[in-house]
Amino acid sequence: MNAPLFITGTDTDVGKTVLTVLLVRVLRELDLQPIAVKPVSAGDRADVRLLALAAGRRASLDELNPFHFRSPLAPLLAARQEGRPSRRTAVLAFLRKKIRGSAGRPVLIEGAGGLLTPLGEGFSARELIADLRAIPIVVAVNKLGVINQVRLVLAALPPAALRRTLVILMSTASPDLASRTNIVLLKEFFFPDRIYPLPRLRSKTGPAQAALSPRLRASLIQLLAAAGISSARRIRPIAKPGRQIAPARSAAAPS
């Protein structure tokens, strides 16, 4: 059974949902029928709707996102406002049920906010990653300052999960000198083969419906293979003649 993939990030609005949706789409293309959930959220549920659309299932939002709170705050504060605190045991029970029922299918868990955003009483994504022995996928925007942000998240991860962690750098609309050089320096502080820039998703239709370029699709398959998805390992991405697709060659990624 594959370990669940836990998509977290350096902050809110860094591209966690975009990446999760794209991974779900590629896994469906590989006929692996993934399970994708966002157990905790606060405020708008647009992210959960995108997950449901990408998965192509008629699951209700509550099935994908059972711990939702109306106020756009850190989930812990939003839960306290509503007088119904979110408990670690309840969130873990939901996730473990999904994992047990997956029958070997990939399970993707999207966090809320950054790694240490309080999701409930006494826990964040860090504790859930440790409890589930999940593979962390850390999403960050590739801009000036990202090296510090990524290093802080890596330092806060459970030590046992660090070697399995993947770092994804998401591009901005206008790459600059920092975005072109960040990955080179970041490789000095983390395993070079675990850092992945992705081509930018150039579409106005959104990640759940946009056409995927061959380069973006190949990068996503490489990422899944690095995360231990066995079926993705057997697929050799096709590169254009003279161009090698490698984890650390480009600093562009989807927004």
Long-range pairs for 142-146 at CB < 8 Å and ≥24 separation? 142/169, 142/170, 142/171, 142/172, 142/175, 142/178, 142/179, 142/182, 142/183, 142/197, 142/251, 142/252, 142/253, 143/172, 143/176, 143/178, 143/179, 143/182, 144/176, 144/178, 146/10, 146/178, 146/182, 146/186
DSSP string, 88-146: HHHHHHHHHHHHHTTTT--EEEE-SSSTTS--BTTB-HHHHHHHHT-EEEEEEE-STTH
pLDDT tens-digit profile, the chain (255 residues): 689 999 999 999 999 999 999 999 999 999 999 999 999 999 999 999 999 999 987 789 999 999 999 999 999 999 999 999 899 999 999 999 999 999 999 999 999 999 999 999 999 999 999 999 999 999 999 999 999 999 999 999 999 999 999 999 998 888 899 999 999 999 999 999 999 998 777 665 688 888 888 888 999 999 999 999 966 655 544 444 333 333 333 333 333
Q: What are phi and psi of 170, to 5 degrees?
A: -95, 130
**The CA-based dihedral angle spanning residues 58, 64, 66, 69, taken in that order and rounded to the nearest 10 degrees:** -100
What pLDDT does residue 235 have?
58
Which residue ranges make up each domain of the chain? 5-233
What pLDDT does residue 222 have?
94
What pLDDT does residue 182 have?
96
What count of other Cβ atoms lies within 10 Å of the Cβ of residue 242? 5
Instruction: Give dist(CA 100, CA 94) in Å, integer.
Output: 10
- Structural contact between residues 162 and 154, judged by C-beta atoms closer than 8 angstroms: yes
Instruction: Give dist(CA 112, CA 49) in Å, integer.
Output: 15
What pLDDT does residue 2 have?
82
In this structure, what token pair is assigned to residue 2? Answer: 């594959």
- Structural contact between residues 207 and 21, judged by C-beta atoms closer than 8 angstroms: yes
What pLDDT does residue 1 have?
63
Kindly state the helix (H) or strand (E) to which residue 230 belongs, with its residue range. Answer: helix 230-233
pTM higher than 0.75: yes
What pLDDT does residue 255 have?
34
Sign of the alpha-carbon torsion through 246, 187, 179, 167: positive
What pLDDT does residue 186 have?
97
What pLDDT does residue 102 have?
95
- Structural contact between residues 138 and 165, judged by C-beta atoms closer than 8 angstroms: yes
CA distances from 44 to 9, 35, 206 (A): 18, 21, 17
Kindly state the helix (H) or strand (E) to which residue 201 belongs, with its residue range. Answer: none
What pLDDT does residue 237 have?
47
> Domain 5-233 adopts which CATH fold?
Rossmann fold (3.40.50)
Kindly state the helix (H) or strand (E) to which residue 168 belongs, with its residue range. Answer: strand 166-170
In this structure, what token pair is assigned to residue 101? Answer: 């029922």
Given 38, 97, 98, 143, the catalytic residue: 38
What pLDDT does residue 208 have?
86
**Residue 38 bears catalytic tag:** yes
